[in-house]
Amino acid sequence: MAHDSRYRAYNVRGGLEHEDDISEYFSLACPADSRLWRFMNSGDEFSAPMLLTSTDRSFDLLEVTVSAPFEETFDQAGIVIFCDMSPEEPWISPTSPQGRRRRRMHSEREHTGKWAKASLQQTSDGTLGLATVITHPNGWPDQSFAAITFDTSAHVGFQLHKTSLRIKFERVNDALWVWYRMPESFSTGQLYPEQVSNQYTKAREVGGFFAGSTAKSRVMVGCYASRPLENEKEFEAEFEALDIFPGS
């Protein structure tokens, strides 16, 4: 189960359901035009619903199974990590009007924080896959997308089909590793740690993501859902078997 029950919801209207059992199951409903994104000409936008917790020691691992009916382009649900920053202090482009005002007032401090997300996402041609975005203190975001083939044979009649994926962040020294696996690939019965690891596919390694982090560095981790395009309908994602482990 998750190591810390002190979760905080961001951009969640009416509070969370299932608050007593967050590590087993919860859902996030988000309106259209909600984002977790970095715009180079302005800064970060954190309007997507998120459920986050602060690790009381250095971060080690975060994983969860996400499920959702993906209907629109860029619908996404997944995990996010903030290192030495939080949703309350988004990065602001130094060339934006707000950034220029800060420089004139000599109040702009060096922003050393960064954030990353990994999500099950749908592209404009209907392809589903694992999307990642890694941000850097100097502003630019690094994006990647790995298409995944899902079995849709269970889709019956007009019932809205939900697609599921288990996603994992892992800290390995100063690097952030991103993994995924199909939930049904997880065998029943007792498994050794190396057997569990072998069922994951590594999506990418982000070298140096934790470089410069200390025991006092703030790390916030959790889950999010986003429907960044305009639509009359809400997008709802479900999250199961949330595991968060601090480092030693």
Is 221 part of a structural domain of the chain? yes
Cβ neighbours of 6 (radius 10 Å): 9
Residue 125's CATH number: 2.60.120.200
Element at 54 (helix H, strand E): strand 50-54
Please tell me the total count of domains within the chain.
Answer: 1
Is 105 part of a structural domain of the chain? no
Amino acid at 231: N
Element at 197 (helix H, strand E): helix 193-197
74 has pLDDT over 90: yes
Q: How far, CA to CA in Å, does 102 sit from each of 40, 85, 121?
A: 17, 18, 35
How far is Cα 7 from Cα 50, in angstroms, rounded to an integer?
10
Q: What range defines the domain where residue 62 resides?
A: 7-88+112-150+158-246
Label residue 134 by pLDDT band (50, 70, 90).
very high
How far is Cα 118 from Cα 223, in angstroms, rounded to an integer?
10
193 has pLDDT over 90: no
Label residue 159 by pLDDT band (50, 70, 90).
very low
More confident residue, 98 or 54: 54
Q: Cβ neighbours of residue 27 under 8 Å, at least 6 residues apart?
A: 17, 18, 236, 237, 238, 239
102 has pLDDT over 70: no
Q: How far, CA to CA in Å, does 63 sit from each of 103, 179, 205?
A: 39, 9, 16
**Sheet arrangement for strand 219-226:** 8-10, 50-54, 219-226, 76-83, 114-122, 128-135, 141-147
Is 100 part of a structural domain of the chain? no
Is 103 part of a structural domain of the chain? no
Label residue 20 by pLDDT band (50, 70, 90).
low
> Which DSSP symbol is given to 227?
B
Write down the pLDDT at residue 140. Answer: 82
Label residue 203 by pLDDT band (50, 70, 90).
very high
Is 173 part of a structural domain of the chain? yes
Write down the pLDDT at residue 229. Answer: 94
- Stretch 216-221: mean pLDDT, rounded? 85
φ, ψ dihedrals at 204, nearest 5°: -170, 160
197 has pLDDT over 80: no
236 has pLDDT over 60: yes
Is 188 part of a structural domain of the chain? yes
Is 95 part of a structural domain of the chain? no
- State the chain's mean pLDDT as an integer: 84
Check if the beta carbon of residue 206 is closer than 8 Å to that of residue 12.
Answer: no
User: What is the DSSP pairing of strand 175-181 with strand 201-206?
Assistant: antiparallel
How far is Cα 41 from Cα 34, in angstroms, rounded to an integer?
18
Label residue 200 by pLDDT band (50, 70, 90).
very high
| Window from 4-8, 54-58, 168-172 with minimum mean pLDDT | 4-8
Q: Which residues pair with 62 in a beta bridge?
A: 169, 244
Is 107 part of a structural domain of the chain? no
